[in-house]
Amino acid sequence: MPQTIQREISKNIATGIAITILIFVVVVYTPIIGFFCSLFIPLPILFYRSKLGRTNGTVVLLVSVVIVTVLLGGTGIDMLFFAELMMIGFVLSELMEMNLSVEKTVGYACVTVISAGIITLLIYSDMSLAGIIRQLSGHIRKILDHTIIQYEKMGMPQEVIHKLLSQKENIIYLFIRIIPGLLISFTLFVSWITLLASELILKKRGLFYPDFGSLKSWKPPEFLVWGVIGCGSAFLFSNVTFKIFALNGLFILITIYFFGGIAIVSFYFEEKHFPLGLKVSLYSLAIVLQPFVMLLLISGLGFFDLWLNFRKLETKKSL
């Protein structure tokens, strides 16, 4: 291989690692916007895996994971979180080259990344479910303790602080049991957002991007409505286990219907010729002001589209 080409590859590898670590530093040291910045961590991994190929892309991924591990002071839940974000980018790039449907691309990426995370947790938790629960409980307890301290510094009323302290074990108990739904939902969300964001970057650089068709016309599979009905019905029973399973299921289904709702919003933004700056401003405003309310509203759009057909897609096709 000519020396100039090797230098160019080395430069790209170093750039990919540097961008990934820079985003990581922003996430860690800017708590207010850190969570939103974490959504961008898979992007440089995906881009440089697509640009440099599997071998060099693996170097970018592994070196980034090692540096993050060192910066975090060793292995742990936090390191696993960032490693899985980076892995999402790598796995998505691999799957995109297979030219699968968008559902399979996101679904397979989610299964691969979560499976890898569970195996890693088992290795670091004495190869037992009890060990995983013990590690997660300790991590959640640490986060709650930190949150309570921050609330005290902010001057939160003492009755609220006492309420949190008295309910701490109950919060940990509940949170441990809804982690599966939250984890799958978060992985689906990050995978979907990364896939959408990578289209503009890859096409602009002349790199391969699968023909998924117009995602603004995407709709969740119709059979999922039975999942919503089933999960909702489970809350009519007094059995706590049923309710926990239903709650986990609803987290996942809300996320999928959110994708459908976003497709509807994007469709009408395009129909009405909204400028890019205005679209970004509206999305950002919604996220900052009422993220949870907007999540439910947009997911509701995706859910009721099954009956109301907001985009009149079949009508447009027939015309």
Low-confidence residues in the chain, pLDDT < 50: 317-319
Residue 9 within a domain: no
User: How many domains is the chain built from?
Assistant: 1
Residue 233 within a domain: yes
Residue 248 within a domain: yes
Alpha-carbon distance 56 to 92, whole Å?
Answer: 16
Beta-carbon count within 10 A of 197 CB: 16
The pLDDT assigned to 318 comes to 43
Residues of 96-124 as b/e, b for ≥16 C-beta within 10 angstroms? Answer: beeeeebeebbebbbebbbeebeeebeee
Query: What does the DSSP 8-state code read for residue 216?
Result: G
Longest dimension (CA), the chain: 70
The pLDDT assigned to 319 comes to 42
Residue 284 within a domain: yes
The pLDDT assigned to 58 comes to 96
Residue 318 within a domain: yes
Reduced to 3 states (helix: H, G, I; strand: E, B; else coil), residue 156 is coil
Alpha-carbon distance 10 to 233, whole Å?
Answer: 56
Residue 142 within a domain: no
| Helix 291-308 vs helix 276-289: crossing angle, to nearest 10 | 120
The pLDDT assigned to 46 comes to 97
Long-range contacts of 30-38 (CB under 8 A, 24+ apart): 36/287, 38/82, 38/85
Which DSSP helix (H) or strand (E) runs through 56? helix 54-71
What predicted TM-score, i.e. pTM, was given to this entire model? 0.87
The pLDDT assigned to 291 comes to 66
The pLDDT assigned to 227 comes to 93
The pLDDT assigned to 129 comes to 63
Residue 266 within a domain: yes
The pLDDT assigned to 53 comes to 94
The pLDDT assigned to 213 comes to 81
Residue 301 within a domain: yes
Domain containing 307 equals 214-319
The token pair that represents 196 in the structure block: 């959408």
